[in-house]
Amino acid sequence: MANNRHSFYRKYGKRFLDLICSGLMLLVIWPLLIIIMVIIKLDSKGPAIFVQERLGLHGKVFKMYKARTMCNHAEQQGSGAYAFQNDARITRVGRVLRKLSLDELFQLINVFKGDMSFIGPRPILTYHPCTYDEYTEKEKTVFHVRPGISGWAQVNGRNSIDWVQRFELNEWYVENVSLALDIRIVFMSIVQVFSRKEIEIQENTAEKFQERRHEAAGKE
């Protein structure tokens, strides 16, 4: 692990900024969150907030919040937990929320609670592409920091890159955490939101992840 693993920013500053900034943002945007919830309820049946278990710091399971952008019980239909381009399960309001990344705003609650950070590897499902125990020790390094609303892999391909690339990018981030890098990712995330690209996953299955892992291991 890099020398900055025990840096002041990594140990204290990052969490302090997360707490202060998320608290202030929630105080300012809570009317917007209510408006989003009302519009979702008027547009389609089901809860306004989508709650899903994800892996957090050190592999601890937590409940992540997002505005619901798909039909109710969408994870039990079609391609499961992930959305693809032109996915029929995405609601009319959901498409707008996704394009503007407004569905992610509810994760500010997770940041305030300490489940997540503003910047870090995107939180992974508890069962996909693997369970926590199935990851290699190298892959588990992505759980050495809190997952983020945005991250290094997110701004370098978002959902268009495969799982092996995603882990490599996130492992690099964990090794190089710094205030300067986090600020850089924030600005790159803002640009990405306004470019409105790479919102839905193209093709990113657990099977392909396992294949790429074996290929990568064979080259070492």
* pLDDT value at residue 179: 94
* pLDDT tens-digit map of 81-94: 566 666 778 899 99
pTM assigned to the model? 0.85
| 3-state SS track over the chain | CCHHHHCHHHHHHHHHHHHHHHHHHHHHHHHHHHHHHHHHHHHCCCCCEEEEEEECHHHCEEEEEEECCECCCHHHCCCCCCCECCCCCECHHHHHHHHCCHHHHHHHHHHHHCCCEEECCCCEECCCCCCHHHCCCCHHHHHHCCCEEECHHHHCCHHHCCHHHHHHHHHHHHHCCCHHHHHHHHHHHHHHHHHCCCCCECCCCHHHHHHHHHHHHHHC
* pLDDT value at residue 1: 47
* pLDDT value at residue 207: 64
**Who has greater pLDDT, 166 or 77?**
166
* pLDDT tens-digit map of 57-68: 999 999 999 999
